[in-house]
Amino acid sequence: MNTENILEILYIAVEDINDTLKKDEKIECSASTSLMHFDSLNQLNFVVEVERLLEERLDKTIILFDASVTDENQSALNPFQSIAAFSQYVAGIIAD
| For residues 83-93, average pLDDT | 94
State the pLDDT at residue 69.
52
State the pLDDT at residue 38.
94
pLDDT digits (tens, 9 = 90+) for 21-66: 999 999 999 999 999 999 999 999 999 999 999 999 999 999 997 6
State the pLDDT at residue 39.
94
First-to-final CA distance of the chain: 13
Helix (H/G/I), strand (E/B), else coil: 82: coil
* Cα–Cα distance measured from residue 2 to residue 6, given in angstroms and rounded to the nearest whole number: 6
Quote the pTM value: 0.86
